[in-house]
């Protein structure tokens, strides 16, 4: 019963994704645009210019979490996420 319900939910999500992408032609957000906006932020520039944290920032840009468009959107829109990201970078680079 539960397995059937899960399969039904997965099928519904797949159909909704197909409709969104191919029928409504809604594109996924572009990471490049959001990264340009993020790199224009003064707090991000300060972290990227700091010799202690620039390596970690570069690593995040290459691998994760800054490869996830939704995470970058969250950093731009939510002050709590931004403060948490800054705190994490500072703790890891001390």
List the domain range (segments joined by +) for residue 52: 29-92
| Proportion of the chain above pLDDT 70, given as a percent | 99
Is residue 52 one of the residues assigned to a domain? yes
pLDDT at 41 over 90: yes
Q: Give the residue with greater pLDDT, 25 vs 3.
A: 3
- For the chain, the domain total comes to 1
Is residue 38 one of the residues assigned to a domain? yes
Is residue 68 one of the residues assigned to a domain? yes
Q: Is the pTM of this model over 0.85?
A: no
Is residue 15 one of the residues assigned to a domain? no
Is residue 13 one of the residues assigned to a domain? no
What number is the average pLDDT over the span 57-61? 90
Distance (Å, whole) CA 9 – CA 49: 46
pLDDT at 28 over 80: no
DSSP structure class, residue 28: P
Q: Give the residue with greater pLDDT, 76 vs 27.
A: 76
Is residue 21 one of the residues assigned to a domain? no
Nearest Cα neighbor of 54 from 62, 46, 66, 42 is: 46
Integer angstrom CA distances of residue 20 from 27, 31, 72, 84? 8, 19, 22, 32
50: left (phi over 0), alpha (psi -120 to 50) or beta: beta
């Amino acid at each position: 019963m539960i397995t059937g319900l899960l399969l039904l939910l997965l099928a519904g999500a797949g159909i909704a994704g197909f409709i969104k992408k191919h029928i409504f032609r809604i594109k996924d957000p572009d990471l490049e645009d959001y990264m340009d906006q993020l790199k224009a932020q003064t707090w991000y520039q300060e972290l990227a210019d700091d010799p202690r944290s620039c390596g970690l920032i570069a690593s995040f840009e290459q691998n994760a979490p800054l490869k996830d468009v939704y995470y970058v959107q969250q950093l731009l829109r939510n002050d709590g996420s931004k403060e948490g990201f800054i705190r994490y970078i500072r703790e890891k680079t001390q």
